[in-house]
Amino acid sequence: MDNLYQLLAQHYDEMVEIRRHLHENPELSHEEVETPKYIAAYHRALGYEVREFVGGRGVVAKLHGAKPGKTVALRADFDALAIHEQNTFSYKSKIDGKMHACGHDGHTATLLVLAKVLNKLREKIAGTIVFIHQFGEEVTPGGALPMIEDGCLDGVDVIYGTHLSAGVPLGTISVKEGHLMAAADGFEITIHGKGGHGASPHDTKDAVMIGSQFVVSAQQVVGRRVNPVRPAVVSVCHFEAVNPFNVIADSAILKGTVRTFDAEVRDQIEKELEEVVKSACLLYGADYTYTYNRGYSPVINDAETTRHFMEEVTNVPKVEKLVVADLAMGGEDFAYYLEKVPGTFYFTGAKNPEWEIAYPHHHPKFDIDERALLIAANTLGHATLSYLQQS
């Protein structure tokens, strides 16, 4: 496996070049056209079996080792975000309002170059490696489910994936068994009140006041109704009532997100948020509409696979530290792969230790330390070869 690192290091410049090319040419979720073409062409040049349009816009390539064995899948997403980039480096986005602000360009570059290097080791590989390039992770419905339905996991025994993390120091791998990331749901509420003059509130059913009551009371669902040892978050992120300064609104729209790990808590919050808005409206004689949208399932790492990964990863060159990850309230549709086959999802540190400010994911100045690409490729490759050797 030391040979793996040496080969990857020889292709580090290519990895950076691919990442920067993709960074300059971002494509939004479910709108990806040129990116999957680029990915498919790269794999075909390696002589791999390639499927395009998997589940819609996905690409799947397969490396068949010289000897029979188990099948490992590796996944990288490739969609960008609707964010206008504020970075000034030479390879910043060429497209206004679109940006790789979450590291998916790096994920793709990592997996492509890893595929090239593993091809050079084919004669030593006993088994099959499936490279899953996924579209649409950032926007529900994500690309994972349709790709799974289209067969991307057929015959797969185990799956690995990593996310470059600007909040984790370079050289650090962050992972844990079991629950890692939360289920990510959304809700939308419209308050139907009665508008009127600001000087005559008694003649109205003030939608802003009712909505405000909901915002405050919704926090009590987590604070006083949910078992405190079961983490949950309710955030109202949008409150809209467009009226002149002296007109009481007849309607208001509220949108927000719910993050949970426990299925019972997820069901509880969905039900109780409606009870909260129903009560607020009943008090003032108003009405409401309530929509709750189930997003991604929680990411739950397989215990055995993850324990083995944690035992092995500290032997990987350039990995300086392994930490047990805290629960992350962010969502990831890698969850759906883990519902079908055992696997491990982990964070690869990409925070440059010399940067005074490390901008977070989804920020217009987001960036990564590109040395993390080599670490991500090496840990994915190491996990793959280790699994196939022990099988």
Q: For residue 187, with 0-12 CB atoms within 10 Å meaning exposed, 13-18 middle and 19 or more buried, which class applies?
A: buried
Does residue 55 sit in helix, strand or coil?
coil
Contacts of 224 (CB under 8 A, 6+ apart): none
Q: Looking at 77, 137, 157, 367, which residue is catalytic? A: 137
Binding-site residue numbers for Mn(2+) are 102, 104, 138, 163, 362
The active-site residue, picked from 79, 302, 333, 370, is 79
HSE-CB at 357 with a 13 A cutoff on CA atoms is 7
Residue 282 CA: distances (Å) to CA of 191, 192, 289: 11, 11, 13
Residues that constitute the known binding site: 102, 104, 138, 163, 362
Measured between alpha carbons, how far is 285 from 205 in angstroms, rounded to an integer? Answer: 7
How would you class 224 by CB atoms within 10 Å of its CB: exposed for 0-12, middle for 13-18, buried for 19 or more? exposed
Residue from 347, 348, 345, 343 nearest 305 by CA: 343
Q: Is 137 a catalytic residue?
A: yes
Structure tokens that stand for 208 in this block: 């802003």
Output phi, psi for 386, to 5 deg.
-65, -45
Rounded to whole angstroms, the Cα distance separating 127 from 52 reads: 22
Token digits of residue 355 = 């940067």
What is the set of active-site residues?
79, 137
